[in-house]
Structure 1
């Protein structure tokens, strides 16, 4: 049997921060552009996308890497404050700890592929105790060099980092851009996590092999990946 690898998107997949993300983006962008962004804009130009994609669309300007990095960090300061102010929402998805414990015990290689930048990644590792399960050096994040989802690069790199062929990897995703990226990377299966999209919406996507609300049904998840 071939080695199966697991790759998790993070925001909206391991950590359900949709409301916090939306509030932080809308608060920050309202100050910058003087209008509220729509839900459609949020899903198309924010959720799962790199900062360059988001700011290029909303600010309608050609920005330097330095300007993008500065804007992104300003926005993430707002986001991190909101995370820490809402302890009820700022936690890993239900059942995920048990599932990660199982993957680690069975020595199934897994990592994270996220559109978050390094400062947020460090913030998550420090406050959500991710180091218990995940090697931070294997995580793929927005370092300004890897193309944003829906380009497949982030999943190709994540598979390489855990030493597994993309075709033998199962990806957990919640966003359309991430699902497209995983599909283009040629992964074995995509499990849709119903946080930003509903279960019904995810089931209509041909590339989705399974749909979950959270990780509480660990037994069913284990049967699926095995």
Structure 2
């Protein structure tokens, strides 16, 4: 039987950046005269890939060039917002990553972020200390957006691990559903934004120290 592994979403999971995301999205939406409720943001934006989000926002099919343009406009605002603050991994995350690395547990990131943001995160958080570059799976324009499970399935394939031995950490509602749809053995909700997850019968943690290490396969 193949060794188990761990897959992390990034934004709102390993990096608690919701205030920066909200601020940058508010500026972006205001610029284009688009108004969304909190519920609409949760449904249309959080955890989804750029193509899905921008086609919903602008109400039409978009070319790859347009999607890239709209995405970069928004992500420049986001990265600038991040740089105004101290950027650090989520509470307890660094200790968990060090423990997983020491025990040679396969690890991957599966994020709806595009390459420019992923490169930014790799640089700011020294992610290659913990993750092999090929195991950082991001939105390259070809991956179906969450809640479709494709991004998590790609991460499992990259690590060479079975669904039955995979642990996924997620925070967004679309991401949680994506993880469930992937048939991973364990899905753990990271409550980085003080949300309520009553629709999911899943474990919820507020700090990575709360993660039950007994779930790991060493």
Does TM, normalized by the shorter one, top 0.5? yes
Distance 1:41 1:204, change over 3 A: closer
Q: Cα offset for 1:221?
A: 2.7
Q: Cα offset for 1:224?
A: 3.3
Structure 1 stretches of 4+ with a deviation exceeding 6 A read none
SS in structure 2 opposite 1:116?
A: coil
Pairing of 1:10-25 with structure 2 (within 5 A):
10-25=10-25
Q: Does 1:205 align with 2:204?
A: no
Equivalent of residue 130 in structure 1, options 107, 127, 144: 127
Match of 1:195 in 2: 192
Q: Cα offset for 1:167?
A: 2.2
SS in structure 1 opposite 2:179?
A: helix
Match of 2:182 in 1: 185
Query: In the comparison of the two structures, how many residue pairs are matched?
Result: 217
Q: Cα offset for 1:129?
A: 1.2
Structure 1, unaligned runs of 5 or more: none
Q: Does 1:142 align with 2:139?
A: yes
Match of 1:224 in 2: 215
Q: Is the 8 A contact 1:175 1:197 kept in 2?
A: no
Deviation string for 1:135-174 (max 9, x for gaps)?
A: 1221110000010000010010000001101221000011
Q: Is the 8 A contact 2:2 2:161 kept in 1?
A: no
Q: Cα offset for 1:203?
A: 5.2
Distance 1:50 1:98, change over 3 A: same
Structure number with greater CO (CA < 8 Å, separation at least 6) is: 2
SS in structure 2 opposite 1:55?
A: helix
Distance 1:96 1:129 in 2: 13
Distance 1:204 1:145 in 2: 30
**TM-score of the pair, normalised by structure 2:** 0.95
Q: Cα offset for 1:196?
A: 3.5
Q: Is the 8 A contact 2:4 2:165 kept in 1?
A: yes
SS in structure 2 opposite 1:202?
A: coil
